[in-house]
Structure 1
Amino acid sequence: MTPYSRATDQYLAQKVMGASPEQLVAMLLEAGQRYLLKTVQAMGRRDCPGQAQATDRVFAILQELTLRLNREEGGELATNLLRTYEWWGRELMQANMKRQPERLERISEQMGDLKQTWEQLHQMKVGAAQAQTPFLTGALAG
């Protein structure tokens, strides 16, 4: 392991530890997009081991996204997200078997849209929390 990779690992660990649940989902979706791109690139090179490895990573991300769903409190939203993740998994499998990178690109676009939604939700929560916290300018003046 190089010093650079150790620093990168530490940075990612800190980023994950300080992330909100919404940010964690957005990070997973971003990673999913990254590995979908690697799958498409490997498919184009006819690199079967590389394609399989990248595809496995996408499946692992989909599994993690599924595990993060709060089905008890999430109601219809959680059900719809579960259906989306399951559909992505089926599409991923079919696209790999039939060598159809356009299907993978469609999944990636949808992941990007969903990622933006989670990021917006995080920003809304941060904004609401800041609005509830009084600003102490006068209290600090002597």
Structure 2
Amino acid sequence: MFSPGHAGANAYARVGNETGVMGASPHRLIAMLFQGARKAIGQARFHLQQGEVGRRGETIGKAISIIESGLQASLDRNAGGEIAERLNALYGYMARRLLEANIKSNEAMLIEVDGLLATLEEAWTGIGPEVARIAAQGSAEAAR
């Protein structure tokens, strides 16, 4: 469903989030992208509440960048099939809602996108043990 490359890592680094990206597994990179996007949305909500229009726009732009250049760009639509196609559409929707939230100064739209990301992040975290098991099994087979 997600491409094995580090496109997400590059997007995450470009938007100024914490280091440690290069040594992370592909599964961990996606988790970091969810966290980064949600953090940016939280900051955008704060700036919206404080009336800081410029900073709100910057942080919403950061969230959009993480979604489009990280999460959406990491999808492997060939291997991921229908799930990847649906995620692609959902990420596009989220980016549009964030843009609309910025234009309309609408906190409810920010909360909506954060909720969608939280749901996806929870599901992604939930498959972590299975991903680790498969990776360990693959490593063991490769060592033989």
Q: TM range, normalised to the smaller chain?
A: 0.7 to 0.9
Contact 1:26 1:116 in 2 (8 A): no
Q: 1:79 to 1:37 in 2, by over 3 A?
A: same
Q: Is the counterpart of residue 50 in structure 1 residue 52 in structure 2?
A: no
- The count of corresponding residues between Structure 1 and Structure 2 is 123
Corresponding residue number in structure 2 for 1:62: 67
Give the aligned residue type for 1:99: S
More helix as a share of residues: 1
> Structure 1: 5+ residue runs without aligned partners?
1-8, 134-142
- Residue identity in the other structure for 2:124: W
Alignment correspondent of 1:104:
110
The residue number in structure 1 matching 2:6 is none
What SS does structure 1 have at the residue aligned with 2:75? coil
Q: Is the 8 A contact 2:31 2:124 kept in 1?
A: yes
Q: State the Cα deviation string for residues 42-79 of structure 1 (Å, max 9, x = none).
A: 11111011011101101110122111110111110110
1:131 shift after superposition: 6.8
Output the CA distance in 1 between the equivalents of 2:111 and 2:73: 24
The CA RMSD over aligned residues, in Å, is: 2.1
Question: After alignment, is 56-65 or 121-130 more displaced?
Answer: 121-130
Unmatched 5+ stretches in structure 2: 1-12
Other-structure match for 1:120: 126
Identity among equivalent pairs (%): 24
Q: In structure 2, the residue corresponding to 1:16 is in which secondary structure?
A: coil
Equivalent residue in structure 2 for 1:30, among 35, 42, 56: 35
